[in-house]
Amino acid sequence: MMKKSFWSVLALGFLALVLAACGGGTADSDEGGDSASGGEGDSGETQFVNILTGGPQGTYYPLGGAFATIINNNVDGVEANATSTGASVENMKSLRDGDGELAFVQTDIASYAAEGKLMFEGDQIDNVQAVGTLYPETIQIVTTKDSGIETVADLEGKVVSVGAPGSGTYANAENILSIHDLSIDEDIEARNLAFGDSTSGIQDGTIDAAFITSGTPTGAVESLAATADVNIVKFEESKIQALIDEFGYYAEDEIAEGTYGLEEPVKTVAVQAMLVANSDLSEDLVYNMTKAIFENTDQVQHSKGELITAESALDGVGIELHPGAKKYFDEAGVSAE
């Protein structure tokens, strides 16, 4: 009797499995198919976005963290994070190689990369497109009041830090000196120092002046100002215009009175900090991230946040705009000047 019950139960169980496979299992299979693969954008898979920034002590890194938070809070299905890097030149090459999705870069460096010039000679990058410009990266020629250096022409024969060869700062120094009929190789004693080492050198007297390209106020220059009377070299209006005419990615800028203890504003020039994207990213993804960033700049706690606006985001871009960013700015009624 027990044997018969056992085989009856087993037979009924087998029959139930067969019926499930032939009938109701189709719905289960369809549901499983939807959650595992689904349509593009509906798969439930997370899109990871790595934002390449700069050094931890700079401006790019904290802004990148703020942008990552904004994207994570406003774009469904995306997980963004900010990564510290060597900044502009390294970021362009990393994007080219697929080692990131978004990146901070100076507009002049992006142009050099797109054109295969200077530090990108023989290494043209054609798969990076603009998302939008952010704020000015001011070219500051830093010295002290005691140096006697008042103009760019006064740098002739002096020991001057121009940044590392291949860096954005070095390219800026080269451009500015050339407009003033000076050469890095022939007319100054060039030193290739980082910002902190440059200001330390000015403080201890081993160098006379330094080119520093950075948003103001710059921490390294503030540190120098705490121990010495800082002077920022002024640009003549005619030279500013000549620089803009020769190199389209420069714009006139001014360092405000009181910055570094300055007694009056100082006219200079700037390039722009810009956000760029790998051109392989979808139009929808870049549209959504662009919209999230430029419509939530009030959530950026860094002082540069107030300078980041949709209205100015196409100023000085210099390279092709990503279709997703273009879609957003077209809808917002923003066009390049």
Domain 137-271 has CATH 3.40.190.10: yes
Contacts for 31 with CB less than 8 Å, ≥ 6 apart: none
Q: How many CB atoms are closer than 10 A to CB 232?
A: 23
The more confidently predicted of residues 308 and 247 is 308
For residue 96, give the amino acid letter. Answer: R
Give the model's pLDDT for residue 164.
Answer: 79
pLDDT per residue as tens digits for the range 317-326: 989 999 999 9
Give the model's pLDDT for residue 168.
Answer: 82
Task: Name the β-bridge partners of 117.
Answer: none
Q: Which residue, chain included where needed, has tokens 């169980």?
A: 13
Average pLDDT in the 163-186 region? 91
pLDDT per residue as tens digits for the range 87-101: 899 999 999 999 999
Mean pLDDT value across the chain: 86
For residue 323, say if its preceding peptide bond is cis, omega within 30 degrees of 0.
Answer: no
Fold matches, 47-134+273-332 and 137-271: yes
Question: Could you tell me which of 307, 305, 283, 310 has the C-alpha nearest to residue 294?
Answer: 310
Q: Is the pLDDT of residue 287 over 90?
A: yes
DSSP label of 218: P
Our CA angle for 171, 118, 101, nearest 5°, is: 90
Rounded to the nearest 5 percent, the helix, strand and coil shares of the chain are 45, 20, 35
Give the model's pLDDT for residue 217.
Answer: 87
Give the model's pLDDT for residue 166.
Answer: 73
Find the helix packing angle between 168-179 and 107-115, rounded to 10°.
90
Q: Give one DSSP letter per residue of 74-88, joined into a string.
A: HSTTEEEEEE--S-H
Average pLDDT in the 157-182 region? 91
pLDDT per residue as tens digits for the range 99-153: 999 999 999 999 999 999 988 999 999 999 999 999 999 999 999 999 999 999 9
Give the model's pLDDT for residue 57.
Answer: 67
Fold of 47-134+273-332: D-Maltodextrin-Binding Protein; domain 2 (3.40.190)
Give the model's pLDDT for residue 337.
Answer: 59
Give the model's pLDDT for residue 163.
Answer: 86
pTM more than 0.95: no
Cα–Cα distance between 79 and 269 in angstroms, integer? 37
| Coil/strand/helix, residue 52 | strand
% of residues, the chain, pLDDT over 90: 70
Domain extents in the chain: 47-134+273-332, 137-271
| Coil/strand/helix, residue 209 | strand
pLDDT per residue as tens digits for the range 235-283: 999 999 999 898 878 888 999 999 999 999 999 999 999 999 999 999 9
Cα–Cα distance between 182 and 164 in angstroms, integer? 18
Give the model's pLDDT for residue 23.
Answer: 38
Give the model's pLDDT for residue 5.
Answer: 44
Question: Could you tell me which of 18, 317, 223 has the C-alpha nearest to residue 334?
Answer: 317
pLDDT per residue as tens digits for the range 3-54: 444 444 444 444 343 334 433 333 332 333 332 222 234 457 899 999 999 8
Give the model's pLDDT for residue 195.
Answer: 87
Contact 322, 129 (CB under 8 A): yes
Which residues in 286-312 are b (16+ Cβ under 10 Å) and which e?
A: bbbbbbbbbebbeebebebbebbbbeb
Q: Is the pLDDT of residue 303 over 50?
A: yes
Task: Classify 211 in phi/psi space as left (phi over 0), alpha (psi -120 to 50) or beta.
Answer: beta
